[in-house]
Chains A and B, each alone.
Chain A
Amino acid sequence: MPDRTIVCRCEDLTLEEIRDLIKKGYQSIEEIKRVSRCGMGPCQGRGCRQIVAQEIAGATGKNMEEIKMPKFRPPVKPIKLSILLGGEDKNA
């Protein structure tokens, strides 16, 4: 039975979809992210990257420490453009 457990809530990806991608040969978080958008939503992977890492480790027989984590890039949590305008725009 397909596993409909949601792994990436932002992009609506299931455990089954992640496992299929790993089977197809995408065996790093970076690659899975690029083909599926996993971890590219508003939470930037805070929910899913550990789960994906565990799945990759399980499927490839590696330790969790060997699974490379993607970089957190600014601004880390979504912020409005107006916040960056600082004091320049009183109407922001």
Chain B
Amino acid sequence: MRNTADVVVIGGGVHGCSIAYHLAQKGIKNVVLLEKNYLASGGTGRSAAGIRHQFGTEINIRLSATSIKMMENLAGELDYPHGIDLMQGGYMMLAYTESQLDQFKKNAEMQNSLMNAGTKVLSVDEIVRITPALNTEGLVGASFNKRDGHVDPFHVTQAYADAAKRLGVEINTRTEVVDIITEGNRVTGVVTGKGEVISTPAVVNAAGPHGAIIGKMVGIDIPLYPERHQILVTEPLEMFLPCMVISFTHGTYFKQTPHGSLLLGVGDPEHEVKDFNQESTWQFLEDVARKITYHMPALKNVRIVRQWAGLYDITPDSQAILGKTDIEGFYLDVGWSGHGLQLGPVVGKLMAQVIAGEKPDIDISVMSIDRFKTGALIPEPACV
């Protein structure tokens, strides 16, 4: 392993790999990435693999629309032969009350005016045309964007990792960071679990739910905690469901992947454990069976193959914490609270710009850790 680096990136998820690639692409080539387990082993690889324009805050709308454009050309840009299994069949967000529909209309107007996103508000008839098997009981409408969809989290991460390596980045998996060395108010090095020390003036914390532990190593309190979320996958079926369907009312979401299998999820934050536990529960299976067959009764005869769990890195406003900190050379890209995968491309680019001392293409200052001191929180209304 190298013993000096211009930048050390902690975390081998999509964000860490994207940051490493974009740094190297700028000419900052002595970058070392450290991953405790293997690439995409945390939240990235356990996610529901979704990409969507349909957010409700200006910052997320700007970031996601830009990131989806990057995804559309990613396999070519990164010269990744496997491809990233991008499938854009849309996200349909179901509204069960007029006030919910009003919120979706406001969100759609913001998405369309800021980023020309092409989000539409659908009537129940229009919903049925796209998803004939959906139970429309109680539905008043939906928000829909055709260019939302699916991407393979492992391959996006691997595409960035491979491209970064070709540009000279060193990626070390199964390498845990156990300490960060500071002198005065600035970062000077990183210590690994194997006892190696890497001298560096810059460290990026992209460690997901472990980000708070990394923060403590330099004496910074990062307000984030892990929260388990569960999901399951079915046997593959002929394609019949073109889009992701989400109900914030029921805390449910389901979609069909390019492989043909269905991903079924139910968010239950009140009853989920708030620690590093990633075990599955039987209760979740029953919950999914009841709620998802309510939305789509025809799924009763579909077989479940596997359930799993992953951790959200939750912050007080369910928004990420990005950029510089009070410790010189210590940067944050954590706290994505369950919607981070899709933003890996754009945020990796912006973080590389911040680290290089440039003005980032999109102003991310609202996501600074300072907002927890000033109280300028930016709650996102569109999250499961």
Chain A residues with CB under 8 Å of chain B are 28, 30-31, 34-35, 37, 40-42, 44, 73-75, 78-82, 84-86, 88-89, 92
Contact = CB atoms under 8 A, between A and B. Distances in A.
A78 B306 CA distance: 8
A66 to B, nearest CB: 13
7 contacts: A34-B154, A78-B235, A80-B301, A81-B234, A82-B289, A82-B301, A86-B286
B303 interface: yes
B305 interface: yes
Contacts of B303: 42, 78-81
Contact of B285 (A31, A44, A75): A75
Given A31-B38, A37-B259, A81-B300, A74 B289 contact: no
Contact of B305 (A31, A41, A84): A41
Contacts of A75: 285, 304, 306-307
Among all A-B residue pairs, the 8 with the closest Cβ atoms: A84-B289, A78-B303, A82-B300, A34-B154, A81-B289, A73-B306, A31-B38, A78-B305
A79 B304 contact: yes
Instruction: Classify the interface of chain A: helix, strand, loop or mixed.
Output: loop
A73 B308 contact: yes
A84 B302 CA distance: 11
A50 to B, nearest CB: 19
A72 to B, nearest CB: 9
Centre residue among B38, B41, B305 by max chain A CB count within 10 A: B305
Contacts of B301: 80-82
B292 A81 contact: yes
Interface string B305-322: 111100000000000000
B178 interface: no
Given A73-B280, A82-B300, A44 B154 contact: no
Interface string B41-85: 100010000000000000000000000000000000000001000
B300 A35 contact: no
B235 A42 contact: yes
B40 A44 contact: no
Nearest to A25: B173
A81 B292 CA distance: 9
